[in-house]
Amino acid sequence: MSLTFKPLTPVFGAEASGIDLRRPPAPEQVEAINQAMDQYAVLVFRGQPISQDEQMAFTRTFGPLDIGFKKAANRQMRLKHFELADISNLAEDGSVASRDHFRIVNNMANQLWHSDSSFQDPPARYSMLHCVITPSKGGETEFADLRAAYDGLPDDWRAEIEGLEAEHFALHSRFMLGDTGYSQAQIDAIPRVRWPLVRTHPGSGRKLLFVGVHATHVVGLTVPEGRVLLSDLLEHATQPAYRYRHSWQPGDLVIWDNRSTLHRGRRYNLDEKRELRRSTTLDADHAEASAPAETATA
C-alpha cells in the first residue's frame, strides 16, 4: 500500500489514500506528505478513526506543537491533551453546550477567514483537523489558496502592496464579533506581530498573498485606509475560483498549510452536536516576521 494523492480542484487540495494514520508514519511517508503539502496545500484523508493519542503522535512527527491562543485562555479542557483544540459545541459532559458557553463563543471566530496563529511568532505551519461528529447539515470547512490568489492579482495591485506589512493581533477577530470582555491589561499583554503582505512559500517557492482576519492594519497607512486595502485583498483571495469546500464525514483528517492557505468554518445548527479536534505544528524555522516598535491600538 503506497501513498497516492488525487487532486480535489484544478488549483489546490488533494485526497490522500494508502496510509493508516493509527500507526506512526515511516520517514518516507512523512517526506511524501510534506512534498504533497508543498504542492497541494490541503490534504484530505478519509476513513481514519484515530484516537486522541494517535492524532498527537502523528502530528508530532511533523514538528513542534502549537497551542495558539489557548495558552492565554486558561480554560477547563474537555479533551485529553492540552495541545488538542476542541472545535466542538460540546460541554464538559459531552452534551450540547448552551449558546453562551465559552467554547461556542470562542470558536465562533473560526468562521472568519484566517490562518491559524498568524498573530504570533512563530505562527502555525500545519493544522490537522479530525472529524468525530457531524451535524445533519452545514459545518463545512472552506479553504482558499493564497498562492493562486497572488498569481491572480492585477499588476497594479502587486506593485501597490510590494514591501507592505500588516500587523496581526490575536483578539482582533474576537473584537470584530463583539467579544470584548477583556481588560486593557490583558489586551496590552498580548504581543503583536507583523508579516509582509507578499511572502514566499518555502516549500513551493511560490509567492503568496498573506492576509486574513487576524490582520488589524497595514503598517505606514492610516488604520481606515489599511483596513479597506486588507478587506479588498481578502475578498480577492477568497473568491470561489481559489476555494475548496470540505464536507466532513466522521473519520476524516484534513491537513492544511497555514503558510499558503486561509480557512473558515461554516455555520451549522448549534442545537446539533459537531465535534472536531485540531492539532497544529509550529512554523519554527521561518525568518520573515518583524516585531512592532511600539504597540499599536488598532
Minimum distance from CB of 294 to Fe ion (Å)?
A: 29
Minimum distance from CB of 284 to Fe ion (Å)?
A: 19
Point out which residues bind Fe ion (CB under 5 A). Answer: 116
Q: Which is nearer to Fe ion, 87 or 229 (CB)?
A: 87
Minimum distance from CB of 256 to Fe ion (Å)?
A: 9
Distance CA 150, CA 143 (A): 15
Q: Which is nearer to Fe ion, 86 or 116 (CB)?
A: 116
- Of 253, 261, 220, the C-alpha closest to 84 is 253
Minimum distance from CB of 156 to Fe ion (Å)?
A: 32
Q: Which is nearer to Fe ion, 19 or 109 (CB)?
A: 109
Q: Which stretches of the chain are assigned E, i.e. beta strand?
A: 4-7, 14-17, 42-45, 85-88, 124-133, 141-145, 165-168, 193-196, 198-200, 207-209, 215-218, 243-246, 253-257, 261-265, 275-282
Minimum distance from CB of 55 to Fe ion (Å)?
A: 16
Distance CA 11, CA 171 (A): 32
Q: Which is nearer to Fe ion, 26 or 73 (CB)?
A: 73
CA angle, residues 168, 172, 175, in degrees to nearest 5? 175
Minimum distance from CB of 169 to Fe ion (Å)?
A: 16
Q: Which is nearer to Fe ion, 3 or 258 (CB)?
A: 258
Q: Which is nearer to Fe ion, 66 or 116 (CB)?
A: 116
- 139 φψ region: left (φ > 0), alpha (ψ -120 to 50), beta (else): left
Q: Are 75 and 67 in contact (CB under 8 A)?
A: no
Residue nearest to Fe ion (CB): 116
